[in-house]
Structure 1
Amino acid sequence: MSLTRLMTALSLGLLTACAHSPVDNINVEEQSDCPLQLHVGQPLTVSLPSNPTTGYRWAIQDSAGGVLRSLSPEVYTSAENGQVLGSGGQSTWRFQAIAAGNGRLRLTYQQPWEPEAEPAQTFDCAITVN
């Protein structure tokens, strides 16, 4: 192999190694998954157990707006055995880390017509973006 070809192959190898690879999506399904460390551009999916037939809904109280951007509204999917009327499922939100810094992603699970009532559940996650 000629020196030129060898140098070209090595250069391409180095460029490939240095190329920015896609950042893995972070999936959070419970409070114990927090706190989170993300990189700018990294996607985040939060899925929490939910059952809107009971009148309870998750509401975002703090969206970590300085460091996260919402990519979609809440999406509810029923459980895999969703044949049972009134069975629970998952509420899912998608975000993307947009800037370095710190924030909190805080959601409460309560009946919307009783905003002064204590939430049945809370999800409070500290977010650090590098």
Structure 2
Amino acid sequence: MTIAHSLSLAAAIALLSACASPSKSVAVQQQTQCPLNLQVGQQMILSLPSNPTSGYRWAVREDASSILKSLGPEVYSASQSDLVGGDGHSTWRFQAIGSGEAQLLLTYAQPWDASTEPAETFDCRIQVR
């Protein structure tokens, strides 16, 4: 077997093993992506439309902490940096830490108005293997 052939075979094996293993992170942007299946160690990046200047905020109601670990606070980024009061996205990062099933529930509402139903709800059943 030549060195070039050995290198080609090694590259092919590495490519196949990369395809067989799960992605290190899963991006979630819509309720339609749920239910969600993750593997222990995998990260979930949740990004939802948001506009805090309207007074509405996302609040985590059920954090699936038995299977997910938060990797930091919510991070807001504006869609257009030069537009004051414009829409953007709120992003959370989680890591799957244990096997099981749990609910991740967030609501989008004005925190001071508890009598009004949330404008939006993100409700996702997550299973970690």
**Residue of structure 2 in register with 1:73 after alignment:** 73
Q: Deviations over 1:78-97 (max 9, x none)?
A: 00x23121101000000000
Equivalent residue number for residue 63 of structure 1 = 63
Structure 1 residues 82-128: Cα deviation after superposition (integer angstroms, max 9, x where no partner): 31211010000000000000001100000011123200000000000
Contact 1:53 1:86 in 2 (8 A): yes
Higher-Rg structure is 1
Q: Is it true that 1:125 corresponds to 2:118 in the alignment?
A: no
- The separation in 2 between residues aligned to 1:70 and 1:24, in whole angstroms, is 16
Q: Give identity over the alignment, percent.
A: 53
CA distance in 1, matches of 2:103, 2:52: 24
Superposed CA deviations along residues 6-26 of structure 1, whole A, max 9, x for unmatched, are: xxxxxxx8xxx6xxx674200
Find the aligned partners of 1:116 and 1:42 in 2 and give their Cα distance.
38
Find the counterpart in structure 1 of residue 88 from structure 2: 89
For the residues of structure 2 that align with 1:96 and 1:37, how far apart are their CA atoms? 12
Q: How does 1:97-116 map to 2 (within 5 A)?
A: 97-116=96-115
User: What are structure 1's unaligned runs of at least 5 residues?
Assistant: 2-12
**RMSD in angstroms over aligned alpha carbons?**
2.5
> Which stretches of structure 1, 4 residues or more, deviate above 3 A after TM superposition?
none
- Structure 2: distance between partners of 1:69 and 1:117: 30
Between the aligned partners of 1:128 and 1:22, the Cα distance in structure 2 is: 14
Distance in 2 (CA, whole Å) between partners of 1:99 and 1:110 is 31
TM-score, structure 1 normalization: 0.82
CA distance in 2, matches of 1:68, 1:114: 29
In structure 1, C-alpha distance between the alignment counterparts of 2:45 and 2:57, rounded to whole Å = 18
TM-score by length of 2: 0.82
Determine the structure 2 residue equivalent to 1:37.
37
